[in-house]
Amino acid sequence: MRLRARELAILFGIGAAGGLVGDAGHVQAGTTTYLDDATPFVWESALWFPILVGLATASLGELRLRLGPPRPGFDARVGIAAIAAVLAIYAVTALVYDEPEGPATTLIVTLAALVACGLGGGAPALICGLAAAIAGPLAEIVIVELELAEYAPSADTLAGVALWLPALYFAFGYVAARLAELLVARR
């Protein structure tokens, strides 16, 4: 592992906490609904959801470091802004899920692009963003197929998940990559 155990734990914790906050927004707004009550719940989420997001965050951070040397320079403000940006987009998806799909998707895609342009990071960050944009929605499609959860009818046109979901995950992957860089720079 390129990331130390403590750094992986920090990424896991940030991802799990962020997943809980974002998912609570989706559940409260009605964007998504859990269909299976067999697992314990934490706040609004089935226990496995924050765990999966935490694991994905740590994995994307590790992926980032394997793709090339991280950028130097630690700045807590960049890390806070990166986390806030992806949580803001997450909250916007909860607020616009029942709006027409066209402008809602355009908004999420363009916000994700703004986050990526703001964070920079070149090809490694882009690969992390694309990996998240592919793997995340695929995982959620499986979750929907397993009837563990569902998206509202106004936001399920991408094989059962929302059309804007890849863009949300893209921003997530970009942010996870940046956080990994910051953790290494802080050593």
Instruction: Name the site residues for a second copy (rule: CB under 8 A).
Output: 21-22, 24-26, 28-30, 44, 77-78, 80-81, 84-85, 87-88, 90-92, 94-96, 99-104, 106-107, 109-111, 113-114, 117-118, 120
Identify which of residues 126 and 134 has a Cβ nearer to a second copy in the complex.
126
Please state the closest distance from residue 175 (CB atom) to a second copy, in A.
Answer: 12
Contact 50, 20 (CB under 8 A): yes
Please state the closest distance from residue 140 (CB atom) to a second copy, in A.
Answer: 18
Please state the closest distance from residue 79 (CB atom) to a second copy, in A.
Answer: 9
Identify which of residues 3 and 167 has a Cβ nearer to a second copy in the complex.
167
Identify which of residues 101 and 181 has a Cβ nearer to a second copy in the complex.
101
Helix (H) / strand (E) containing 33? strand 32-34
Please state the closest distance from residue 116 (CB atom) to a second copy, in A.
Answer: 8
Strands (E), 51-91: none
Contact 154, 33 (CB under 8 A): no
Identify which of residues 90 and 172 has a Cβ nearer to a second copy in the complex.
90
Please state the closest distance from residue 121 (CB atom) to a second copy, in A.
Answer: 10
Burial 71-81 (b: 16+ CB within 10 A, else e): eeeeeeebbeb
Residues 6+ apart with CB under 8 A from 72: 185
- 175 vs 11, 76, 88, 103, 128, CA distance in Å? 11, 13, 12, 24, 9
CA distance 126 to 131: 8
Identify which of residues 28 and 33 has a Cβ nearer to a second copy in the complex.
28
